[in-house]
Structure 1
Amino acid sequence: MDVGFLFDLRNPEEWKRPWADHYARTLEFCEEADQRGAGGLWFTEHHLFEDGYLPQPLTFAAAAAARTRQVRIGTSVLLPALRKPAQLAEEAAIVDLISGGRLELGLGAGYRVPEYALFDTDFKQRFTRTEESIREVMRLWEEKGITPAPLQDPVPIWGGFYGPRGARIAGRLGIGLLHISHDKFEHYRAGLVEGGHDPAIARVSDLLPIILADDPDAAWPRVAPYLAHQMNSYRQASVEGTGQPKPPLIHPDEFRDRTSNAPWGALRILTPEDAATEIKEMTKGLPVKHLIFWASIAGMPDDLVARNIELVSEKLPPLLRS
């Protein structure tokens, strides 16, 4: 299994950089991760976030692909139900070509009503539309229904699903599951059998709520304000358009007590040694392909981002192999 980084390009008002500078600095971090031997750069999708959460991951993936040479280029995740399948097939194929065949296409159903409204798409049908879209993209590539075709044949596709229903969908489609869970793996494997696929092709990956630091205790008070912003934005956004009341805001001071389940459970700041121990236990017995780590929490300080990238890319892999 390799290690990689997720970039969401958040740029909160409190710490805001000029947008062009922010995108340029992120591309520099992508180059650094590639040079240090990381296995993947992953880009995610959301719409209508005040902090500019990345809305078009394939666009940024193309830029990262052009600036790197070895690292895999992935989405974790892109929302196919918000696009025409032919559009997605074409755009993803171009990223695969620019990268020289390094694309990993992670797809999911999403969870936000306003995003589906923005694209005039039925939120209640998101799982059905997602499965249909994935099937159509695969068909277009297999039958050369778009040009040019991607370099890889096939492009690795991943289902970013966290529930039993989604795990079974990923299995039926014969794609990877972007979720590391022993419980959900059984649903995924059942879906593979249901879809007529050999269970031996099963593969899983996931975003781990972990960043690495030399001194986690010293890093925590610096990361806490950014983590509070990230968690509050997710929590507030998750209820938009549902009629449900907004949850109370989390204050950074709440992270001082890290013995409780929440909000501490949203992130682990660990040394490479402690992370390796936890990851080995979590992944035991599962066919893990990619481990994905946060590159940055909501635009946290550059020195923490750079050290996180260095530790994950260079210090963690030997510990995982030992």
Structure 2
Amino acid sequence: MPQPSFGVLHDFSQPLPATVPWPAYYAEILDLITDAERFGYDTVWLSEHHGRADGFAPSPLVAAAAIAARTSRIRIGTNILLLPLHHPLRVAEDGAVVHAVSDGRLILGVGRGYAEDEFALFQAPLDQRTSRLEDGIGIIRRTWRDGRTGFEGRRYTLPDGPFTPQPAPGAPIYVGAVAPAAVQRAARLADGLLVYVTAERDLPPRYQAYTAALAAAGRSAATFPFVWTGVAHVAASADQAWSEAGPCLAYLEDQLRIARGEDRPITADDLDPADFLVGPPDQVADRLITLRETVPFDHFAFWGRLPGLTVEQARRGIETFARQVIPAVRAAA
């Protein structure tokens, strides 16, 4: 079994009340990303949401360009860019510029989105998000591969003309998907699958949907990565790790509830620590090794700074994971 690669995810959110000025907070995150490159991580992933009071990053490709200027090796991915909220030619151009300034390190991860308030904010029809995603991927493929803009699809018709700067051949496009139909769509259109799962028990069904979709599309797992994004935090003891991460995870769960229209707040006491990769490094490594026997993920990425962690806690966590967890998991592969 090939060795997995590892990454960190950043959404730049800061739970309210924000205590760090935004320029300083962004500087802290950029420093953590350069630390992640120094610690040996393979990829940094950037998310996108809009209209969030906690500063959830709205412009992942702008952040990607800033990261490209600060780093030299680590790959830079969007996980995910909400493609139906953007004109795909604009995304193609911005992504191509990131490829140029990063020497081809961009992994463009896209998805169709789900939050009604975000579609309303951009005056984009929610019921067209699937067709806009499919057309958008087609436009980005066409411009990047052929250096031409001409396209005729269901939602977009573009006149033909030159496209520059054209990325190197094979510039990847991944798709984030959960539902079986969405995973099947990803297997047809994308170069890799992005899956967000926090509880380990939810991962095997996602992997089974992935393998079934690849089989139906006549594609191979050897050339179509399964990228799992979730939660991990390590510290010297289980109690310390949970005392640091638990409130952050409750905050994340609350944000998902709010997005679904629920309003009952929860605390760390409402969560089961066993659902999360939180604990001392040897225990987290053992759980990943065991999980990979049934779900041979190609890449695992986790929050580089859970919302609410201090920068010191985040840096210590990603360094300890890199020094102790990653070598153990790779050695067992």
Q: Taking structure 2 as the reference length, what is the TM-score of the superposition? A: 0.85
Could you say what secondary structure the match of 2:309 adopts? coil
| Pairs within 5 Å for 1:12-27 | 12-27=15-30
Task: Identify if the C-alpha distance between structure 1 residues 6 and 43 changes in structure 2 by more than 3 Å, giving closer, same or farther.
Answer: same
CA contact (8 A) 2:242 2:279 kept: no
Q: Bigger CA drift: 300-309 or 277-286?
A: 277-286
Task: Tell me how far 1:272 sits from its aligned partner.
Answer: 2.3
Q: Does 1:238 align with 2:247?
A: no
Task: Tell me how far 1:285 sits from its aligned partner.
Answer: 5.7
- Amino acid paired to 2:238: P
Which residue of 2 is the match for residue 321 of structure 1?
330
Counterpart-to-counterpart distance in 2, 1:169 and 1:11: 34
Bigger relative CO (Cα 8 Å, ≥ 6 apart): 1
CA contact (8 A) 1:85 1:136 kept: yes
- Amino acid paired to 1:73: I
Counterpart-to-counterpart distance in 2, 1:309 and 1:279: 16
Counterpart-to-counterpart distance in 1, 2:233 and 2:115: 26
Which residue of 1 is the match for residue 321 of structure 2?
312
| Pairs within 5 Å for 1:247-266 | 247-255=263-271, 258=273, 265=275
Q: Does 1:144 align with 2:160?
A: no
Counterpart-to-counterpart distance in 2, 1:155 and 1:69: 18
Counterpart-to-counterpart distance in 1, 2:189 and 2:169: 16
Task: Identify if the C-alpha distance between structure 1 residues 314 and 99 changes in structure 2 by more than 3 Å, giving closer, same or farther.
Answer: farther
The alignment's C-alpha RMSD in Å is: 2.1
Task: Tell me how far 1:69 sits from its aligned partner.
Answer: 1.1
Could you say what secondary structure the match of 2:51 adopts? coil
| Pairs within 5 Å for 1:116-127 | 116-127=119-130
Task: Tell me how far 1:225 sits from its aligned partner.
Answer: 2.9
Q: Does 1:11 align with 2:33?
A: no
Task: Tell me how far 1:274 sits from its aligned partner.
Answer: 1.7
Q: Does 1:40 align with 2:57?
A: no
CA contact (8 A) 2:233 2:317 kept: yes
Counterpart-to-counterpart distance in 2, 1:104 and 1:309: 21
- Amino acid paired to 2:164: T
Task: Tell me how far 1:193 sits from its aligned partner.
Answer: 5.2
Could you say what secondary structure the match of 2:17 adopts? helix
Which residue of 2 is the match for residue 216 of structure 1?
238
Task: Tell me how far 1:282 sits from its aligned partner.
Answer: 2.4
Counterpart-to-counterpart distance in 2, 1:292 and 1:238: 24
Percent of residue pairs bearing the same amino acid type? 33
Counterpart-to-counterpart distance in 1, 2:299 and 2:236: 23
- Amino acid paired to 1:291: F
Task: Tell me how far 1:297 sits from its aligned partner.
Answer: 1.4
1:64-94 deviations in Å (ceiling 9; x for gaps): 1110111111111111111111111111111
Could you say what secondary structure the match of 1:300 adopts? coil
Q: Does 1:109 align with 2:112?
A: yes
Which residue of 2 is the match for residue 154 of structure 1?
170
- The aligned length equals 308
Could you say what secondary structure the match of 2:67 adopts? helix
Which residue of 2 is the match for residue 50 of structure 1?
53
Counterpart-to-counterpart distance in 1, 2:221 and 2:40: 31
Q: Among 194, 201, 208, which residue is 2:223 paired with?
A: 201
Task: Tell me how far 1:293 sits from its aligned partner.
Answer: 1.0
Task: Tell me how far 1:43 sits from its aligned partner.
Answer: 0.5
Task: Tell me how far 1:62 sits from its aligned partner.
Answer: 0.8
Q: Among 62, 73, 78, which residue is 1:75 paired with?
A: 78
Counterpart-to-counterpart distance in 2, 1:104 and 1:81: 18
Unaligned runs of 5+ in 2: 149-162, 198-202
1:74-132 deviations in Å (ceiling 9; x for gaps): 11111111111111111111111111111111111222001111111111222232122
- Amino acid paired to 2:227: S
Task: Identify if the C-alpha distance between structure 1 residues 229 and 199 changes in structure 2 by more than 3 Å, giving closer, same or farther.
Answer: closer
- Amino acid paired to 2:13: R
CA contact (8 A) 1:31 1:68 kept: yes
Which residue of 2 is the match for residue 163 of structure 1?
179
| Pairs within 5 Å for 1:262-301 | 265=275, 267-284=276-293, 288-301=297-310
1:247-282 deviations in Å (ceiling 9; x for gaps): 411024434x646xxxxx3x4312222222222232
Counterpart-to-counterpart distance in 2, 1:49 and 1:66: 27
Task: Tell me how far 1:140 sits from its aligned partner.
Answer: 1.4
Q: Bigger CA drift: 278-287 or 107-116?
A: 278-287
Unaligned runs of 5+ in 1: 240-245, 260-264
CA contact (8 A) 2:174 2:190 kept: no
Task: Tell me how far 1:161 sits from its aligned partner.
Answer: 0.5
- Amino acid paired to 2:166: A
Counterpart-to-counterpart distance in 1, 2:308 and 2:56: 11
